[in-house]
Amino acid sequence: MASTPPRGQWSGQLGFILAAAGSAIGLGNIWRFPYSAGEGGGGLFVLIYLLFVLLIGVPVMFAELSVGRTTHRNPVGAFKALVPGSWWPLLGGVGVLTGFCILAFYSVVAGWTLGYLFSSFTGMLGNISTNEASSALFTSLIGNPGQAILLTAIFMVVTVVVVRGGVSSGIERMTTILMPILFVLLLVLAGRALTLDGGIDGLVYLFKPDFSELSMAVVMSALGQALFSLSLGMGAMITYGSYLSDEANLWKAGGSVAGFDTLIAILSGLIIFPALFSVGAEPTAGPGLVFVVLPTIFSSMPLGNIVAILFFMLLTIAALTSTVSLLEVVVSYFVDEKGWNRTRSAVTIGAGCLALAIPSALSQGALPSLSSGGIFGWDFLTLNNNIWGNYSLSIGAMLFCIFVGWKWGIPKFLEAVESAGDRRIPLPASRFVGILLRFVCPIAVLATLVYIVVTGSYF
């Protein structure tokens, strides 16, 4: 194996779990999950999503972390170290590109969060009680080109500043205190939403599968959501695992991150769907769903304005810990493989990504040719969300499972996960993980992709 350059390290297992949970928990849980579930028919989508988290997400999480920790490298360098002279590093390269392209639309939605945070400071969200008023606010905030670009730019600059600071000092500290507060606040909001008139209908919608909704597009979207939400399929967990020490227990760390992440997604479903049914909004509203529904809950609560400020502040930070991990994947590649320093990498990549974010920022009404219906019937942001967030992550995860299951091999994978010796899980459990990585994950993803190509039901 090539010699390893000196790298940062998490301050300990808890620091790592918090940072990785920070990467996983973000707009994917609170913005993307409810709107994808709404478009996918509710309960059926949720059921398939949960199955994919367990059968594909969790094993891929272990596999990415073990490859990262063993090699202490970025996604490209990790493959170079494990299988020198092969084509596999290309897979890492596609992961790095995917991170760049996801960041380019993610930062736009993160900018909306920031916009809502500013609006909640001015008290603008306090008296929005109808779906119509809330939709009008969303359109005015997001459809204004200058404002959308400025908010995205502010977010990107903050992300660059944090990534420039390096792993443990910048990233870890932020998550330590804020994640628990976010969790408690979500619980309070779910309590409020469930007691709204008609709230129970939302609960039924979220958990009662309607099998007539089954389509390959829904399966694909649930698979993409499971991977997107867990930050898998592009090497983010390889990168974060690369900063882990050999003592850390990967089964525990990976399992806790996946568990927290899924809990937060379900919790945000428990907020959005009851509230949505109580104000009569459409579950299929698309990317604006959460932003339109949430203000109506705040206005129905005592001290709603303060709750709104706190919520959008925490959501902004949750988004930031995710954008940081997206940028970190690309930056660690340029630092390790191209010899750039962190500052140069973070600034250059951040600037490039901002340029690519502009069309997404303009695609929610500001520029009609990029907006809904403009490109193959889609707006630019949604199109990118589907291509990079669903297809690229799914194909990446499938090839990665083939790598670990068939090229690197399950024995080496298990040895890497259980390097500290006392970290064994019962043999049947580790065999099961091996079977999932070798057979279930690649076949499930491939079958979905083939079916989609054959039937032409891409989105």
What's the closest the beta carbon of residue 123 comes to ligand PFF, in angstroms? 28
Residue 262: how many other CB atoms lie within 10 Å: 23
Contacts of 87 (CB under 8 A, 6+ apart): none
Which CB atom, from 381 or from 414, has the smaller least distance to ligand PFF? 381
Question: 458 — phi, psi (to 5°)?
Answer: -65, -40
The rounded distance, in Å, linking the Cα atoms of 93 and 112 is 30
Nearest to 333 by CA among 317, 345, 324: 345
Which of left, alpha, beta for 375 (phi over 0: left; psi -120 to 50: alpha)? beta
- CA torsion sign for 229, 171, 190, 252 is positive
What's the closest the beta carbon of residue 319 comes to ligand PFF, in angstroms? 7
The residues that touch ligand PFF, with contacts defined as CB under 6 A, are 23-24, 26-29, 99, 102, 228-229, 231, 234, 236, 322, 325-326
What's the closest the beta carbon of residue 103 comes to ligand PFF, in angstroms? 8
Distance from chain centroid for Cα 159: 16
Which CB atom, from 196 or from 324, has the smaller least distance to ligand PFF? 324
What's the closest the beta carbon of residue 207 comes to ligand PFF, in angstroms? 21
The two tokens of residue 45 are 């989508």
What's the closest the beta carbon of residue 455 comes to ligand PFF, in angstroms? 27
Per DSSP, the three-state class of 146 is: helix
What's the closest the beta carbon of residue 232 comes to ligand PFF, in angstroms? 7
Which CB atom, from 29 or from 384, has the smaller least distance to ligand PFF? 29
Helix axes 131-142, 289-298, angle to 10 degrees: 130
Which CB atom, from 38 or from 199, has the smaller least distance to ligand PFF? 38
Which CB atom, from 63 or from 414, has the smaller least distance to ligand PFF? 63
What's the closest the beta carbon of residue 281 comes to ligand PFF, in angstroms? 22
The rounded distance, in Å, linking the Cα atoms of 152 and 120 is 18
What's the length of the chain?
459
Q: Give the residue nearest to ligand PFF (CB).
A: 28
What's the closest the beta carbon of residue 144 comes to ligand PFF, in angstroms? 25
Which CB atom, from 236 or from 253, has the smaller least distance to ligand PFF? 236
The rounded distance, in Å, linking the Cα atoms of 249 and 278 is 44
Which CB atom, from 133 or from 263, has the smaller least distance to ligand PFF? 263
Contact 58, 45 (CB under 8 A): no
Nearest to 361 by CA among 46, 144, 200: 144
Distances (CA, A) of 273 to 94, 289, 297, 312: 35, 10, 11, 18
The two tokens of residue 235 are 């090497």
The two tokens of residue 218 are 């829904």
Which CB atom, from 29 or from 221, has the smaller least distance to ligand PFF? 29
Which CB atom, from 159 or from 229, has the smaller least distance to ligand PFF? 229
Residue corresponding to tokens 């309960």? 43
What's the closest the beta carbon of residue 236 comes to ligand PFF, in angstroms? 3
User: Which residues are registered as beta bridge partners of 378?
Assistant: 375
Contact 235, 74 (CB under 8 A): yes
The two tokens of residue 423 are 């970290």
What's the closest the beta carbon of residue 391 comes to ligand PFF, in angstroms? 14
Helix (H) or strand (E) holding 410: helix 410-417
Which CB atom, from 229 or from 384, has the smaller least distance to ligand PFF? 229
